Chains A and B, each alone.
Chain A
């Protein structure tokens, strides 16, 4: 349950964010389900409470603030803008009944085109200072590196797009990497189909398979068959490039020691250089704010399977000596989300939230 102390603590945190120059915003508790489903897919149903409005249709109890805050900003916010908010979020708990179904979040979000490294550092520093009395353990990540590596792979656009689509789904990403690297065998049925396609007309094969039922029509099936035939002729990913991806996924090191190996990886995959520049600029910006890179644990893939789809910097601040607790604060950069919700417009964005309800039991 949210206690009076939690609310008081949340109000203090919010006051600190206002003092840092943020505008306080409110969002609705009932969010249209369609937007969230489009963003997160069907999985959100396992994590959010869905309810029915007789006129507006399906709605969800706000599972997080990021989406409505971004929506509000994209429909006419100032540029640049800094927002803060405080309120309840609701999460279904199917796995661990001990976890709360409703709790407070206090958040800070920055929409600013000027200097991404500086704004990354600004958000991390602000949340870190807010939690300083609890001496939290920081942990950083950067999904921009993984995305840049995928974009830099020497392979077809289709393969790169497939990997990009599954950056946030480790199981599927791994399967795709194995297939594209030629480590899996083509099922006999597929091999037979491909052999027939080489000599027979795709449309005739489709017609022979059965009546056309459903919305997905013959043209779409033919288009995918063509894509399959093309994919067979695509050479496997080079071992070197696949190893770069593996190295990024497995890397765990203080931030100060991350840059040099990543520059080495960029020799094999030049696309990484731009992301490495961003990482370097961010490390410097953090250092300027008093967070020495050798004190910051870093793993590029951190935050990858979080619900929020971060596509750059990510961070958590965790309770010391309490690995059983969720992170006290989480945050990251989500430039792509603003494009998805911005109907053609986009703006670089970074933010984070604190869960004041976790602080009460800590000393």
Chain B
């Protein structure tokens, strides 16, 4: 039996159930809506319902063999993610882009080149580094290091990130956006080259979990069905 971790609520859960169902694997919750237990028909698999944010860690620890979560969460939460999990397949839903956004009124800023120049100007004027509110600390830091942007500072924001600029707790944000409406409502715009990661729901395989011969066979048979679905 292999253990499959799936988001425990919301649209991500519904879409995941639907996606597996289309491929002949029926996932269902057992008991009441509040009980985080599940059931799989049609394969020797145990369903483990978890918060999407916990799935990367559970995969890395090998507590689950397979897991469905956003590719952004895996990249943010796991160092050297590709050595710890393997992408089985992208699932084609849960699309969300992690982007850098600045106030629309910054008409002098369209690109990372501009951002870097403005960060220097801001630090000289204000005596502190330009603050970027985000919960994606690692992804933002690595992206900006790769592009040689300096003189910024990350401030943690676990929710309502778009509002931080209005509240003067940050100068700009890095956040997930699927439609851009919240950005517009908060008078923000996306940098032209500010796409940090295009995330979607992805089925990952743990490299740390123990894989017996029968578990590997179960996985191989399942993977064929899922990829060809």
Contacts and interface: CB of A to CB of B under 8 A. Distances in A.
Interface of A: 37-38, 41-43, 45-46, 94-95, 97, 162, 165-166, 169-173, 175, 179, 187, 189-190, 193, 205-206, 209-216, 218, 220-221, 223-225, 228
B126 A224 contact: no
Contact of A213 (B103, B120, B130): B103
B129 A41 contact: yes
A46 B141 contact: yes
Interface string B53-81: 00000000000000000000000000110
Counting chain A CB atoms within 10 Å of each CB, the highest count among B105, B142, B148 belongs to: B105
Given A169-B150, A189-B192, A215 B171 contact: yes
Nearest to B137: A45
A214 B108 contact: no
Contacts of B146: 171
A43 B103 contact: no
A107 B69 CA distance: 47
Given A166-B150, A170-B148, A172-B147, 15 more contacts: A38-B129, A41-B129, A95-B79, A162-B117, A187-B111, A209-B106, A211-B105, A212-B103, A213-B105, A214-B171, A214-B172, A215-B126, A216-B118, A224-B118, A225-B108
Interface residues of B, number: 46
B169 to A, nearest CB: 10
A187 B141 contact: no
The 6 closest A-B pairs by CB, nearest first: A172-B148, A210-B104, A169-B148, A171-B148, A224-B108, A214-B165
B193 to A, nearest CB: 10
A43 B141 CA distance: 7
In the complex, which of the residues A38, A169, A209, A214 has the most CB atoms of chain B within 10 Å of its own CB atom? A214
Contacts, number: 110
B154 A175 contact: no
B29 to A, nearest CB: 37
Contacts of A43: 141, 145
B88 interface: no
B105 A212 contact: yes
Nearest to A228: B108
26 contacts: A41-B150, A41-B152, A42-B144, A42-B152, A45-B141, A95-B80, A162-B120, A165-B120, A166-B148, A171-B148, A175-B113, A187-B192, A206-B105, A209-B106, A209-B107, A210-B103, A212-B103, A213-B105, A213-B188, A214-B172, A215-B168, A216-B118, A216-B171, A218-B105, A223-B121, A225-B107
Is chain B's binding surface mostly helix, strand, loop or mixed?
mixed
Contacts of A206: 105, 107
B192 A175 contact: no
B93 interface: no
A216 B171 CA distance: 7
A211 B187 contact: yes
A175 B142 CA distance: 18
Contacts of B151: 41
Interface in B143-163: 144-154
A129 B117 CA distance: 45
A81 B192 CA distance: 51
B28 interface: no
Contact of A172 (B108, B141, B149): B149
A209 B148 CA distance: 28
B116 A172 contact: yes
Contacts of A215: 126, 168, 171
Contacts of B30: none
B223 interface: no
Nearest to B171: A214
